[in-house]
Amino acid sequence: MLQKVVIIGAGPAGLLLAHYLLRRGKYYVELYERRPDPRLMDVSQDRTFPISLQERGRKAIREIAGLEEAITATSVLCNGTVIHRKQGKARKIPRAIPILTIDRNRLVMILLQHLTETYTSEKLIVKFHCQCVQVNGRSKTVTLKPEQGEAFTVAYERLIAADGARSHIRDYLVQNAGLQCDQSYVPDAYKSVFLTRLNPALGLELEPDKIHAWNRDNKTRMLMVPQPGDRLNGVIIFEQEQNSLLSLSTKEEVLAFFQENFPLFGQLMSQEEAEAFLQRPVGRVLTIRCNHFHHGDSVLLIGDAAHAVSPSIGQGCNASLEDVLVFERLLNRYEDDWAQVLPAFSEQRVPDAHALRELSDYSFPRTKVLVVEFFLRLTMSRLLHRWFPQWVKPFVFDLVLDEDLPYSQVLSFSQGWINKVKRSQP
């Protein structure tokens, strides 16, 4: 008899977990997602935000045959970052181990297609435009509200919250099951920006295998990530309390703003993008810190529902995918006994999630003096680590991006720097 697992949230973590569970041959999975089905969307709208996948996330994907190859085929491998500036030469920061960059919608599409092509409706049900609106832990049911039609209730034996930072299931556990959860917004806000990396008329061509950044000052910056087809997907980031974009009301003003403050990117912005930029909402990032990630033997929180963090070091998706791999290994260890697996998952992942929040908040400094020191430390640690690998650890960014050490261990190695950055912030 198959166990029924209901997964709320068909993002990267929820979809990958469905892959893992169905592969075990012991589970029937129902997936519910509040967003529309990405398979029915216009491909030209395949522009959300870029995700960078490092070894930590890729090793989780690699467990499912064919997934990594399919993802790599529609991704860009970036072997470094170029930091542009108004005056002086751009600063290049190479990477020994390339980062795989892919649009979030594209990643979801590949995971979903592979899942639905592998498993029939006898094992798997996937429904979109369905929002979780109620949880009843006593009767083990969830109520879902489709975009059209009446709400309906489904029963579960196991319930997985993969429904993001604003998880309804997590809120239920906070209100009814004693879960302790701190929620806070990062000081920064952002708007998405979509450019081409080419402007033949001006003789401009940004490197196709580099992430491109521009810091106007410590409060406003841009990060643009290469995508297939000579596209750059990225964001402009600014302090929520000092939003200089509020004064922009026409596409001409948008173009003038970018040409003045980020001249290189401004020359790559089309009039259509300037018009679209005006209409996009300002985004905020909600961070989550929970004291455990499960309830009893039947409810599990994974990904952003359990530990949403600042995107400053690009670990949100990687940590979420790693959750799935950790969970799979615990299922193996305890032979699918969820009464043992769920507490073990919390015991293992909570310290790493808390460490990741520290690393995300304080790895990169905001003061000019510490920014200079950051790049000096990065350069020197790479050099010394190459010469004396047994004595000198990589700097914090390289430890996070190039290694798959537990985040708590990375924090331990980097605690001095993290404390220094923390003291520098108000």
Give the CATH number of the domain where residue 93 resides.
3.30.9.10
Are 188 and 209 contained in the same domain? yes
Q: Are residues 152 and 236 in the same domain?
A: no
**Dihedral of the alpha carbons of 147, 149, 153, 154, in degrees to the nearest 10:** -70
Shared domain for 277 and 298, answered yes or no, is: no
- Dihedral pair phi/psi, residue 120, rounded to 5°: -90, 175
Six-digit token string for 256: 């003038």
Q: What is the pLDDT of residue 47?
A: 54
pLDDT for residue 38: 87
> In this structure, are 257 and 269 located in the same domain?
yes
70 & 142 share domain: yes
- Can you list the residues of the chain whose pLDDT is less than 70? 42-47, 218
What is the pLDDT at residue 398?
A: 86
Q: Please, what is the end-to-end C-alpha distance for the chain in angstroms?
A: 57
Q: What is the pLDDT of residue 218?
A: 63
**What letters, b where the CB count within 10 A reaches 16 and e where it falls short, cover 386-402?**
eeeeeeebbbbbbbbbb
Q: Are 123 and 271 part of one and the same domain? A: no
Shared domain for 143 and 29, answered yes or no, is yes
Report residue 321 as tokens.
């995918």
In terms of domains, do 35 and 20 share one? yes
d(CA 25, CA 225): 39
pLDDT at 22: 98
Q: Are residues 115 and 253 in the same domain?
A: no
**Residue where a domain terminates, one of 284, 301, 324:** 284
Report pTM.
0.93
> Which of 284, 306, 333 represents a domain boundary (last residue)?
284
Q: What is the H or E stretch that residue 6 is in? A: strand 3-8
Last residue of a domain, one of 360, 383, 398: 360
CATH number, domain of 146, equals: 3.50.50.60
Q: Measure the CA–CA gap between 359 and 198, rounded to whole angstroms.
A: 34
Say whether both 217 and 93 belong to one domain. Answer: yes
pLDDT of residue 42: 64
pLDDT of residue 46: 47
Q: Are residues 169 and 194 in the same domain?
A: no
Same domain, 177 and 293: yes
Q: Which residue has the tokens 């006593």?
A: 138
Q: Which domain holds residue 392?
A: 365-424
Locate tokens 């001409």: which residue?
A: 252
pLDDT at site 382: 86
Structurally, how many domains does the chain consist of? 3
